Structure 1
C-alpha cells in the first residue's frame, strides 16, 4: 500500500479537523471550520483520482507501507515526521500543534517518547542489513517540551554487540535538551 495523493490529502484535512476540534473554543467558529473542511473532503471524494498534493510527504527509513502514528502521510494522527541522516545520526525537525498537548503548553510525554522511539529506530535501521526492533527505550524528561516549538529529535547508534544495537538520542528545543532517550534495538534471530 502506497499513500495516494487522495489518501494524503484526506489525512491532511483530517489533521486540520483534529486541530480545529482541540483549538477552537467558539462553537460558531468551529462549525465554520468543520463546514469548510467537510466541503473540501466532499469535493475530493467526488474525484479522488484527480486529487494532487503539491508537496507530498517523503517517506524516510525502511518502513514499507507506512501507516505508523509517528510518520505516515496516510495516518491523520501522525505529525508526520521526515527523518534525515546527518553524518552518523538520524535527525528530524518538526513542530507539534495543540493536538499533541499533555499539560497546558507542553507536548504529552508519551508523544515525546514516540518521537524518540521513531528516530532512534531509524538510526538503528540504516543500511541494507536485518531489521532492528525496539527491545527497550528509557526516556528521561529533562525540561518541558513546548507545543509549537521548533523541535529537533536526534538519535545515534552508540554501540553494537551481535544482533544488538544500543542507541541514544535527544529532543532539543531552543538549544535546550528537553528529553533524552536510550535503548536497545535487536535484530531477530536467523531461522
Structure 2
C-alpha cells in the first residue's frame, strides 16, 4: 500500500484537527477551525486526483505498507517520524506538538517508548537482514521529554548472537540525553 497524496492529505488535516481539539479552549474558534478543516476535506474528496503535496512524508520504513501508529503518513495518530539510516544507527529528528503531551509540557512516556521501539526496530531491520521483532524493550526516563522542542531519537545494534539482535538507543533534546533504551529483537524462525 503506497501512501498517495490524497491519502496523506486527510491524515494531515486530521492531525491538524487533533491539535486544534487539544489546544483550543473556546468553542467558537474551535467550531470555526472544524468547519475550515471540513471544507478542505470535502474539496479533497470531490477531486482526489488534484491533491498535490509540496512536502510528502518520505516512504522510508522498515515496515512494508506502513500503516502503523508510529510512523505512517496515512495514520493521523502517528508522530511525524522520518527515520533515516545514518552510518551505523537509525536516527529520527522531530518536534512533537501538543497532542502527544502527557504531564504538562512533557511528551507522554508511552509515546516516547513507541518512538524508541520504532527507531530501534528500524536499526534491527536495516541492511537487508532477515526480519526481527521486539522481544523486550527497557526504557529509562532520565529527564522530561518536552513537547514543542526538537528531539533526536537514535538506535543501534550493539551485539548479535544467532537470531538475536541487541539494541540500544536514546532520546536527546538540545544535546542532553532525556531517555535511554535497550532491548532485544529476535529474527523470525521462518526467515
Interval of TM-score (by shorter of Structure 1 and Structure 2): over 0.9
Q: Quick check: 1:142–1:179 contact (8 Å CA) kept in 2?
A: yes
Q: TM-score, normalised by structure 1?
A: 0.97
Q: Quick check: 2:80–2:96 contact (8 Å CA) kept in 1?
A: no
1:167 matched residue in structure 2 = 167
1:7 matched residue in structure 2 = 7
Deviation, 1:120, is 0.3
Deviation, 1:83, is 0.6
For 2:61 and 2:34, the matched residues in 1 are separated by 34
Deviation, 1:183, is 0.1
* Deviation per residue, 1:20-49 (Å, 9 max, x gap): 000000111111111111100010011112
Q: Which runs of 4+ in 1 moved over 2 A?
A: none
Written as runs of structure 1 = structure 2, the 5 A alignment for 1:54-73 is 54-73=54-73
Written as runs of structure 1 = structure 2, the 5 A alignment for 1:96-175 is 96-175=96-175
Describe the SS at the equivalent of 1:114: helix
Describe the SS at the equivalent of 1:119: helix
Q: Quick check: 2:72–2:78 contact (8 Å CA) kept in 1?
A: yes
Describe the SS at the equivalent of 1:11: helix
Written as runs of structure 1 = structure 2, the 5 A alignment for 1:172-187 is 172-187=172-187
For 2:140 and 2:3, the matched residues in 1 are separated by 34
Deviation, 1:50, is 1.6
Describe the SS at the equivalent of 1:92: strand
Deviation, 1:69, is 0.7
| Gaps in structure 1 of 5+ consecutive residues | none
For 1:37 and 1:162, the matched residues in 2 are separated by 51
* Deviation per residue, 1:117-150 (Å, 9 max, x gap): 0000000001112101100000000000000110
Tell me the C-alpha RMSD between the 2 structures.
1.0
Q: TM-score, normalised by structure 2?
A: 0.97
* Deviation per residue, 1:68-124 (Å, 9 max, x gap): 111100000012211111110100000000000000000000000001000000000
* Deviation per residue, 1:159-180 (Å, 9 max, x gap): 0000000000000002211110
- The alignment of Structure 1 onto Structure 2 pairs a total of residues equal to 191
Q: Quick check: 1:8–1:73 contact (8 Å CA) kept in 2?
A: yes
